[in-house]
Structure 1
C-alpha cells in the first residue's frame, strides 16, 4: 500500500508530528551550520581570484585555503553539537575518523555549489591546480544534481 506523508511547511510553522524537542534539535542543527558557514568567505575568495590575474602557485595556495576554510567550518559545526560535546575524547576521535572524509566531501560540494564555483570556467579553474580538471569536472557533474534545499542538506550532514 502507498502511504502518503504530509509535508512539513516551515513557512506556515506547521511542525506536523514533530514534538518540541525534535523541533528544537532540527533548529539547533540548522543554526550550527549557519553560525559556522564559510559561504561568505569562500564566495569572497572566489570573486577575488576570478578578477585577479595570478600565477599558478598563488592559485594553488588559495585553493588550499578554500579547502581549509571549508574543513574548519564543518569541524566547528560538528564540535558545537551538544551530542558531540558529551562524548568522550575517544568517541569523538572515532566518530570523526570514521565519518569526516564523507561528510567533508559532501559539505564541500554543497558549499562550492552554493558559491557558484562551477558556474564559470574562471571559477572552476581555481580548484584545477589542486585536484586536476577531470576531478573538478566530475565534482561539478555531481553538484548540479544536488537538492537546492539547504535545510535538508544541513540535516543530512548531521
Structure 2
C-alpha cells in the first residue's frame, strides 16, 4: 500500500466511531420519520420498537443498531420512479459511505436470482435499501418526500 493510501485508511479508522454514531443516529431518526410517510408500506430497521428483532438488536448493539434500513413501496415500478427522483441521495451499492446511498436489491444484488429464489430469501421487488451517510436526517427525509411525489 502506498503511503497516501495508508494515511487515508488511518484517517478513516480514527474517525469511524464518530461517523458511526452520527450515521446510526440519523438512520434511527430517518426510520422513525419514514413510518409516517404516505406511499411507504413498511420500514425495516431493528432500532424501531415495532421491529420483531428490536430486543435482540438492543441487547447486541445498544441504542444504535446501524446505519442501514429498508423500506417497501407499493411496487417495483414505484421503486424505480422513486430512485429516479432522488436529488440528494445517491444510487450506489456501497455501504457505510459518507453519503447516503439507495439501491433496489432485487434488481441489483439479487438480480441474477430467479423470482422464486428471491422469494425464498425474502427479497422483495418492492424494497429500497438505504445506507445512511453523514447528511442531515431532515434533508434526507425531505429528499425522500419529494421523490415519493
TM-score for both structures, normalised by structure 2: 0.28
Q: Which structure is richer in relative contact order (CA contacts within 8 A, separation 6 or more)?
A: 1
Larger radius of gyration: 1
Higher strand residue share = 2
